[in-house]
Structure 1
Amino acid sequence: MNIFTIILTQPLTNGLILFYKIFGQNIGLAIVFFSIALRFALLPLTKPYMESMKKMKEHAPQIEKLKRKHKDDKKKLMQAQAEFYKQKGINPGAGCLPYLLQIVVLFALFGVFSNVLSGNGDLAARVNNLLYPPLKLAQDATVNTKFLYMDITKPDVIRLEGLPIPLPGPVLILAALTQVISAKIMSPHIEKQKKAAKKTKEVADDFQTAMQSSMVYTFPLITIFAGMNFASGLALYWVTFSLFQTIQQYKSSGWGGATPWVRRLQTLVKTP
């Protein structure tokens, strides 16, 4: 086995099979609780980013003052911001490592799910070489791939007569929506940054703000298009992982950049 398999694919496979055995060989429940456990395992890496975002939200007025003060001098603005972040213990780059790690884990999960969720049901032959001795399966072990309305070995799509392409299914749509909400919460200053960027002469501000805005929707769209071609077990992982990420972010920093959406929703609900 290569180093990637030993460090990531093998432990993740064993984790999934452990939950599979705990929950009475229900692979759907195994994926849900495995996703929750994985989210908690990554919490030590994501917590610093959430705390940093909370501090940035608290100190947003001071940051805006710095931008107005140095709006004509990009270099001084960067120096002033760096000094301010240092004084307040804010690390703007704290979110890079968690995101990179999540991408690496996601690639490993493609391998895990392709092994465990292959459609022929011959589970033991595919995964026993990756399992630690206490978790090895009987040679005739098979897996029940039905969960809710889905066969989780197949993409979560809806095929309608007359339509040349399938439509994303409910779990896949929910996975994308939770990612949008999560990304929106994690970008609490985008609207303020847009206003500040218009006041500066540097195009870098506009580019950075545009990138932050686009990322809110880029990953959810990738999720939908990728999910329409992979086993729906992966979509089940996405929706569970993203939902708990959203809950953790809300507890840490409130609604963040999603606040305008929440206010509009509250207004609509109150309107007779």
Structure 2
Amino acid sequence: MDDNNRNLILAMVLSALVMIGWYAFFAPPQPTVDPSAVPTATTTPATTPAAGAPVGTAAGTSPGTAPGVADAGSADPSRDAPRVAIDTPSLRGSISLAGGRIDDLLLTGYRETLDPASPFVRLLSPTAQLRVTQEGTAAAPATEPEVVLQKPYYAVYGWTPGPGVDPALVPGPATVWTLESGQTLAPGQPVTLAWDNGAGQVFRRTFELDDRYLFTVTQSLENSGAAPFSAAPYGIIARHGRPDTQNYFVLHEGAVGMVDGELVEEDYGDVADLDPVAGEGPADVRQVTANGWIGFTDKYWMTTLAPAPGQPFTAVVKYAPGADIYQTEARMPVQTVAPGTQVSSQSFLFAGAKTYEVLHGYQENRGIQRFVDSIDWGWFYFLTKPIFHLLHWLHGIIGNMGWAIIALTFVLKMLVFPLARKSYVSMARMRELQPEMEAIKERTGDDRTKYQQEVMALYKREKVNPAAGCLPMLLQIPIFFALYKVIFVTIELRHAPWVGWIRDLAAPDPSSLLNLFGLLPYSPPAQGTLLHSLSLPALAIVLGITMWLQQKLNPAPADPAQKMIFAWMPWIFMFMLGGFASGLVLYWIANNTITIAQQYTIMSMHGHPPQLFGNIRDSLPKRRRKG
């Protein structure tokens, strides 16, 4: 076996092992519905913590910490409390006056499925199963409402009593606020909630919202009493129960934040296993001196608390085992309000889709440090980020993400062309040496050691590098996985169409040979499953053909074992890649096609054009002549 073919086989085998390892260790199990996790439209039981309340007990907290979850009794106050509508070009929902919680939020720019009639993606959901419609909200239900079946997930703000302050004098999670100004929260239309404790202090909370996903929340405390009053503002994001995650090893879902430039990532299992902190339970408490944010991220969506830049605060990630609540908090320092004065605290709440341009805009214009790193770029961010930027730029020019992937492939192939050219020239030189290598084989017979020594001497004399043939393929492996990461984690690829039946480049090709690509009246196996890959989607078949054609550019190896490996490799890859995102398979097809054109052209320029169609014809079964 000559070194060039050995190295090429090694590269292909390594690639195959990586693909198999992905299926074995990284592919997620098929989602199942846990009946116990589906909420019902019944009254919240008394043992369930009140919506919008942190974990613990208010009376037991120390100054500067968030209050605990107070048991609101058998009736959830958010069920019948008035609501303030939210209506923007990107968001629709409502704020409950019970606790002043943002707990009803739809992302109107995104549907759950490709069906244009499917529901909007619901990001936040209240503890009470409010009846809303597909297009409606809890604040403005339509005539035929449906029950919201989603685990409670919401953001709430408040104040913790300072030293010597009665907890009853600060608003709690069940406190019903009064709408002081505004009617509907919309861009340029803020709303203000107020609560008077009857002892000379008035608390106000003003919500502002831009046309995308950023809330500006200003909490103020006015003291008209006769003595100073101390309290500490806070913000909380709470998730009841562990959410249904993608369960991919290569994707982070859970708590995410930035603490003075340091990225913090903890998945839900890690949060539940945190070491106990006195008075907190399982918790991770970090002091932020100047810049930071904390919240929860899903694959495409995120809810994050971000105090104003320069504001010190305490970032907390914790879990309440008894209540099964995951929680992130931003706790501000205690403020003392002198009689006749007032204080305020401003912070941001991001609740929406992790679109790069939006996150980057908030990072640059609002000073939210490293906000784009909430996108899970992975360990190889030095590759994934540039590839995404290039793909995003090409998409802006072309307007179609599928064609942008093809254009990206051209750019990447041009970048590695010098190395590829050396490879193709080396292959042309190897073709020149084929007669001499055959002569060495005949002369050495079965003496493999002598054969290798003479072949290596031939390479050295003719200045041929047998390893050059596999270097471009080895270089494609990190590029392939960086692009896989980009396609998998960035929302820009979600539901992005290409042509015809390819309507979501982030999902596997939905076609299947088993139903003759839609001609037969039954559905193919579910996308993303191994059975779907084995059913041979159309793109997978095209991939196998292009790999086969690329292989035929090279002379067939003389060794039977090599010949068998080369014969099977395109079809093995065809089956393995069938369940990958169609955008990734599209990249591989484009890469193969460009490689075929480059290799054919360069080898022809060096006087050794590959007999492509001759090789193909020779590989077909021979017909027996008549007579």
* TM-score, with length taken from structure 1: 0.73
Q: State the one-letter code of the partner of 2:386.
A: P
Partner of 2:391: 16
Partner of 1:177: 545
Deviation sequence 1:214-241 (CA, Å, 0-9, x none): 134324422432232x221111111111
* Residue from 49, 52, 71 that aligns with 2:423: 49
Deviation sequence 1:103-124 (CA, Å, 0-9, x none): 12111111011123x4xxxx4x
Deviation sequence 1:156-179 (CA, Å, 0-9, x none): 132531765543332221122101
Deviation sequence 1:187-227 (CA, Å, 0-9, x none): x141xx23xxxxxxxxxxxxxx5135413432442243223
- Residue 255 of structure 1 and its aligned partner are, at CA, apart by 2.7
Higher strand share: 2
1:7 and 2:382 aligned: yes
1:92 and 2:466 aligned: yes
Q: State the one-letter code of the partner of 2:614.
A: T
Distance 1:21 1:226, change over 3 A: same
User: Which aligned pairs between 1:1-272 and structure 2 lie closer than 5 A?
Assistant: 4-23=379-398, 25-116=399-490, 118=491, 123=492, 145-149=496-500, 150-151=502-503, 152-159=505-512, 160=515, 161=522, 165-166=531-532, 167-186=535-554, 188-190=555-557, 193-194=558-559, 209-211=560-562, 213-228=564-579, 230-253=580-603, 254-255=609-610, 259-262=614-617
CA distance in structure 1 between the aligned counterparts of 2:476 and 2:498, rounded to whole angstroms: 25
Does structure 1 conserve the Cα–Cα contact (< 8 Å) formed by 2:537 and 2:578?
no
CA distance in structure 1 between the aligned counterparts of 2:464 and 2:612, rounded to whole angstroms: 18
Distance 1:189 1:163, change over 3 A: closer
CA distance in structure 1 between the aligned counterparts of 2:496 and 2:587, rounded to whole angstroms: 15
Does structure 2 conserve the Cα–Cα contact (< 8 Å) formed by 1:174 and 1:239?
yes
Q: Between Structure 1 and Structure 2, whose CA radius of gyration is higher?
A: 2
Deviation sequence 1:73-101 (CA, Å, 0-9, x none): 32222111111111112111112322221
- Residue 71 of structure 1 and its aligned partner are, at CA, apart by 1.3
SS in 2 for 1:243: helix
Q: State the one-letter code of the partner of 1:59.
A: L
Greater Cα shift, 14-23 or 164-173: 164-173
Does structure 2 conserve the Cα–Cα contact (< 8 Å) formed by 1:20 and 1:27?
yes
SS in 2 for 1:93: helix
5+ residue gaps, structure 2 = 1-372, 516-521, 526-530, 604-608
Distance 1:162 1:31, change over 3 A: closer
CA distance in structure 2 between the aligned counterparts of 1:217 and 1:37, rounded to whole angstroms: 30
- Residue 21 of structure 1 and its aligned partner are, at CA, apart by 0.9
Higher helix share: 1
CA distance in structure 2 between the aligned counterparts of 1:68 and 1:264, rounded to whole angstroms: 24
Does structure 2 conserve the Cα–Cα contact (< 8 Å) formed by 1:19 and 1:34?
yes
Percent pairwise identity: 27
Q: State the one-letter code of the partner of 1:17.
A: H
CA distance in structure 2 between the aligned counterparts of 1:72 and 1:239, rounded to whole angstroms: 40
* TM-score, with length taken from structure 2: 0.33
Q: State the one-letter code of the partner of 1:234.
A: L
Does structure 2 conserve the Cα–Cα contact (< 8 Å) formed by 1:35 and 1:241?
yes
Distance 1:257 1:189, change over 3 A: farther
CA distance in structure 2 between the aligned counterparts of 1:212 and 1:4, rounded to whole angstroms: 37
CA distance in structure 2 between the aligned counterparts of 1:185 and 1:168, rounded to whole angstroms: 25
Q: How many residues align?
A: 225
Distance 1:26 1:163, change over 3 A: closer
- Residue 144 of structure 1 and its aligned partner are, at CA, apart by 6.1
Does structure 2 conserve the Cα–Cα contact (< 8 Å) formed by 1:185 and 1:256?
yes
Deviation sequence 1:121-173 (CA, Å, 0-9, x none): xx4xxxxxxxxxxxxxxxxxx97612112122221132531765543332221
5+ residue gaps, structure 1 = 124-141, 195-208
Partner of 2:348: none
Partner of 1:132: none
SS in 1 for 2:594: helix
Distance 1:176 1:189, change over 3 A: closer
